[in-house]
C-alpha cells in the first residue's frame, strides 16, 4: 500500500508564508492560522510542502488503509484558499459552504478566493466542531 504523501514536516510555516506571492493571501493565511489555532487548540504545522495543518487525527478505513491527517488545514493557492477538514462539521451543523460567504466545495474541500465576505466567527465555530468530531 502506498504511503501518504501529505505528512507533517519540520518545515517553517512562516518561511512557507514568506514564499506566497500574493500579499493578500499571506494576510488571509495569518488570519486563518490564528482562527484555526484558537478553534482547535493546536499549533500550526506544515503538512507536505504546501498545507498548513492543525492537530493530528489517525484514521483507519475498513479496507485497512490508515494514516494521519490534520484535524483542519488550509493551503493558500494561486486561485484562492483551499480549506480541508470542515465538510463533515458543516453538514453536522446543517450548513453549506455558501453559508460561510463566498465559498464553494470541490473534492472534499471548501474553497474561498479570499477572506473578504467570509463569516469568520461562523468559520471558527465550524472548525471547532470539526475538532470535536475527531476527538
pLDDT tens digits, 86-117? 999 999 999 999 999 999 998 889 999 999 99
State pLDDT tens for residues 33-55. Answer: 999 999 999 999 999 999 999 99
Residues constituting the chain? 135
State pLDDT tens for residues 122-135. Answer: 999 999 999 999 87
CA 52 to centroid of chain Cα atoms = 7
Task: Tell me if residue 6 falls in helix, strand or coil.
Answer: coil
Among 50, 52, 36, CA closest to 89: 36
pLDDT of residue 66: 79
Mean pLDDT of 23-38: 97
What is the value of pTM for the model shown?
A: 0.92
Q: In this model, does residue 3 exceed pLDDT 80?
A: no
The pairing of strands 57-60 and 80-84 is unpaired
pLDDT of residue 1: 54
Calculate the alpha carbon distances from 75 to 50, 68, 100, 120 in Å: 6, 17, 17, 17
Average per-residue pLDDT in the chain? Answer: 92
Q: What is the C-alpha separation between 97 and 39, in angstroms, rounded? A: 18
Q: What is the C-alpha separation between 132 and 55, in angstroms, rounded? A: 12
Walk me through the domains of the chain, giving residue ranges and CATH numbers.
13-133 (3.90.1150.200)
Amino acid at each position: 500500500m502506498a504511503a501518504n504523501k501529505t505528512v507533517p514536516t519540520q518545515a517553517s510555516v512562516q518561511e512557507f508564508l514568506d514564499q506566497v506571492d500574493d500579499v493578500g493571501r499571506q494576510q488571509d493565511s495569518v488570519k486563518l492560522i490564528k482562527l484555526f489555532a484558537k478553534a482547535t487548540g493546536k499549533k500550526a504545522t506544515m503538512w507536505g510542502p504546501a498545507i498548513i495543518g492543525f492537530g493530528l487525527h489517525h484514521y483507519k478505513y475498513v479496507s485497512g488503509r490508515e494514516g494521519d491527517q490534520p484535524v483542519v488545514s488550509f493551503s493558500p493557492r494561486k486561485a484562492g484558499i483551499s480549506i480541508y477538514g470542515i465538510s463533515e462539521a458543516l453538514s453536522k451543523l446543517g450548513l453549506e459552504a455558501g453559508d460561510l460567504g463566498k465559498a464553494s466545495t470541490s473534492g472534499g474541500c471548501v474553497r474561498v478566493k479570499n477572506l473578504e465576505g467570509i463569516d469568520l466567527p461562523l468559520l471558527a465555530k465550524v472548525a471547532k466542531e470539526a475538532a470535536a468530531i475527531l476527538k
